Amino acid sequence: MTTQSSSTRLMLITPPVADAEAMAFRLMQAMAGGDVAAVLLRLSAGDDRSRIERVKRLAGPVQANNVALVVEDNALVAARGGADGVHLTGGPAAVSEARSSLKSERIIGIGALRARHDAMDAGEAGVDYVMFGEPRPDGSLPPLAAVVERAGWWAEIFETPCVAYAPDADSIPALIETGAEFVALGAWAFDEGQDIRALVEQANQAISACAARKTAR
């Protein structure tokens, strides 16, 4: 999960996955649309064994496309399933626990950061990325303007990469302009009837257009 020529790259955040086969098909469609840096896999309820099997089923095809797979909030399932890392939502205090159970080469990212000092604490704890703007536990979203401000502030000052969450396709260009290393397309991108391949293609076109404008300045 690295940047290429300092351009923004895409992260895909799945809805809670119960059927790994169906999600594998959707992810193949998405990755056919162009560059994707990472997939954040959210898993529906189940015992650890069944969840590990779902991770294993998805890790192979995702990683075969040079895309990192991170699992939400379960370092054990992530490690045993062969994922590349874990995405935490339990605050900076969860970082040290995850680090102790994961090998150093695995990714640890963090979201659900409600204040600037939370993000700074997470950065100091050694996370590999911070995420801004994703849905709150009640499903509500922070205002887009606040996410743009927060991502721009972080990208300008800190070396730790940041992920800016796009609540819809229309918000993608504004989030790219912040300089965030990654823009995340949420579960909405996997909605039935959504052409996820075209969405990824259009997002990458927006990234290229932004890079061209910055080069021309």
What is the residue extent of each domain of the chain?
Answer: 9-216
Bridge pairing between strands 129-132 and 162-166: parallel
Please give the helix or strand (H or E) that residue 92 lies within, else none.
Answer: none
In angstroms, the CA 155 to CA 181 distance is 8
In angstroms, the CA 26 to CA 3 distance is 24
Assigned token pair, 37: 């840096």
In angstroms, the CA 10 to CA 197 distance is 13
Position 41 scores a pLDDT of 98
Contact present, 202 and 168 (Cβ < 8 Å): no
10 Å Cβ neighbour count for 19?
11
pLDDT tens per residue across span 96-126: 889 888 877 799 999 999 899 999 999 999 9
Q: Given 3.20.20.70, 3.10.20.30, 3.40.50.300, 3.40.50.2020, which CATH number is that of 9-216? A: 3.20.20.70
In angstroms, the CA 159 to CA 74 distance is 26
Position 4 scores a pLDDT of 44
* Average pLDDT of the residues in 190-216: 93
Q: How many CA atoms lie within 13 A of 103 on its CB side?
A: 8
pLDDT tens per residue across span 129-157: 999 999 998 999 999 999 999 999 999 99
Give this prediction's pTM. Answer: 0.95
